[in-house]
């Protein structure tokens, strides 16, 4: 009897173990689903974090930000050192520009530029009594370059408008080239010509009459820090060079395969096509009518003479 009770107890334990195992197996899919759900949630959170982070994208686009304190000081030192060599400027505002390329991605055809205006000399003529904060600039890039101003910082208005060099305005610019340009065909001088803007100073006097002054190549320091450092040569980087660079970087187009200037070429082509079909169609209709008249006339003659055509 004692042996029988032991065997029965063992069988009961085995049965309970089977039930527990079965319950555990039944709960495993739910556990796997919960684990998979947690993993998917973690992946989504990580992806959101990476999307928010201002990192360089895989297609080569620039991560454009305003210069930090160290970079800002480096740019300022380079600008002051280069502009200190100027003995005069050609514009009446007495200002000089410092323009540099901070980043350049040839693959993406994009660049980040830093532009600063300095009060170099005492303003004269119509700019004599114009406050610094009332002065604006206008930039004109070559036709192949599109730009936008990302940040703009103004220094405090200079009350006495001293002749000593002081930074008055600072801009961070982002530019892109037309996608059809092949920059690998260009040298550094040609690329710089596509990045160099025409800088003009604008203001309005008391009578609301606009005044303007142009900053020539001699009224500034160009490419003194960052990309293309010390490669600028006045007389080589010009609007004429930019036009030639655009023509050199443009893709080859087989002559006769395009309609030329759109929509003028399309309009002229359609007009000649309509005239061709109109003339050809009217001539065809005339010949058909003449054939019908000829057959009728011959039939009438055959009817009178009894001859068969």
pLDDT digits (tens, 9 = 90+) for 168-199: 888 888 989 988 888 888 899 999 999 999 99
User: Given this structure, which CATH class describes domain 69-249?
Assistant: mainly beta
So what's the pLDDT on residue 61?
Answer: 59
Cα distances from 280 to residues 55, 272, 273, 284, 291, in angstroms, run 64, 12, 11, 6, 17
For residue 284, the model assigns a pLDDT of 94
Highest mean pLDDT among 139-148, 159-168, 207-216: 139-148
Per-residue HEC secondary structure of the chain comes to CHHHHHHHHHHHHHHHHHHHHHHHHHHHHHHHHHHHHHHHHHHHHHHHHHHHCCCCCCCCCCCCCCCCHHHHHHHHHHHHHHHCCCCCCCCCCCEEEEEEEEEEECCCCEEEEEEEEEECCCCCHHHCCCCHHHCEEEEECCCCEEEEEEEEEECCCCCCCCCCCEEEEEEEEEEEECCCCCHHHCCHHHHHHHHCCEEEEEEECCCCCEEEEEECCCCEEEEEEEECCCCCCCCCCCHHHHHHHHHHHCCCCCCCCCCCCCCHHHHHHHHHHHHHHHHHHHHHHHHHHHHHHHHHHHHHHHHHHCCCC
Indicate if the pLDDT at residue 265 is higher than 60. yes
Average pLDDT over residues 135-152: 84
pLDDT at residue number 285: 94
In the chain, the percentage of residues whose pLDDT exceeds 90 is 18
Please tell me which residue, 261 or 237, carries the higher pLDDT value.
Answer: 237
Contact 123, 261 (CB under 8 A): no
The span from the CA of 70 to the CA of 68, in Å, is: 6
pLDDT of residue 207: 64
Q: Which residues contact 56 (CB under 8 A, 6 or more apart)?
A: 62, 63
Say yes or no to pLDDT of 93 above 70.
yes
Q: How confident is the model at residue 279 (pLDDT cuts 50, 70, 90)?
A: very high
Mean pLDDT over all residues of the chain?
76
Residue 181 near residue 144 (C-beta atoms within 8 A): yes
Residue 59: predicted pLDDT:
38
Query: Is 53 a residue whose pLDDT tops 50?
Result: no
Find out whether 62 and 103 touch, Cβ atoms under 8 Å. Answer: yes
What is the structure's pLDDT at 226?
87
Instruction: Tell me the average pLDDT across 36-59.
Output: 40
By DSSP bridging, strand 95-105 and strand 220-226 are parallel
Q: Identify the pLDDT of residue 63.
A: 67
- Residue 55's pLDDT band, with cuts at 50, 70 and 90, is very low
pTM check: above 0.85: no
Of the CA atoms within 13 Å of residue 158, those in its CB half-sphere come to 24
**pLDDT for the residue numbered 306:** 57
pLDDT at 305: 61
Task: State percent of the chain over pLDDT 70.
Answer: 71
pLDDT at res. 153: 72
pLDDT band at 48 (very low <50, low <70, confident <90, very high): very low
């Amino acid at each position: 009897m004692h042996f029988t009770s032991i065997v029965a107890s063992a069988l009961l334990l085995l049965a309970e173990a089977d039930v527990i195992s079965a319950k555990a197996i039944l709960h495993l899919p739910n556990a796997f689903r919960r684990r998979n759900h947690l993993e998917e949630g973690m992946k989504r959170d990580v992806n959101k974090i990476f999307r928010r982070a201002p990192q360089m994208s895989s297609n080569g686009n620039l991560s454009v930000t305003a210069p930090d304190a160290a970079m800002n000081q480096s740019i300022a030192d380079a600008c002051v050192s280069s502009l200190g060599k100027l003995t005069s400027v050609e514009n009446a505002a007495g200002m000089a520009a410092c323009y540099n390329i901070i980043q350049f991605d040839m693959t993406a055809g994009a660049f980040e530029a830093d532009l600063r205006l300095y009060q170099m000399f005492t303003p004269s003529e119509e700019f004599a009594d114009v406050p610094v904060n009332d002065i604006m600039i206008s930039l004109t890039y070559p036709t192949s370059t599109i730009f936008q101003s990302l940040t703009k910082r103004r220094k405090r208005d200079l009350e006495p408008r001293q002749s000593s060099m002081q930074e008055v305005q600072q801009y961070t610019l982002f530019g892109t080239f037309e996608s059809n340009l092949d920059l690998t065909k260009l040298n550094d001088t040609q690329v710089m010509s596509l990045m160099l803007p025409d800088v003009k100073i604008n203001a309005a006097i008391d009578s609301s009459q606009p005044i303007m002054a142009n900053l020539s190549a001699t009224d500034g320091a160009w490419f003194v820090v960052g990309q293309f450092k010390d490669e600028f040569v006045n007389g080589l980087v010009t609007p004429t060079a930019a036009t030639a660079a655009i023509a050199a970087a443009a893709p080859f187009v087989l002559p006769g395969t395009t309609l030329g200037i759109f929509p003028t070429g399309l309009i002229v082509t359609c007009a000649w096509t309509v005239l061709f079909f109109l003339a050809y169609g009217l001539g065809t209709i005339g010949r058909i009518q003449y054939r019908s008249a000829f057959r009728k006339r011959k039939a009438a003659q055959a009817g009178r003479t009894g001859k068969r055509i």
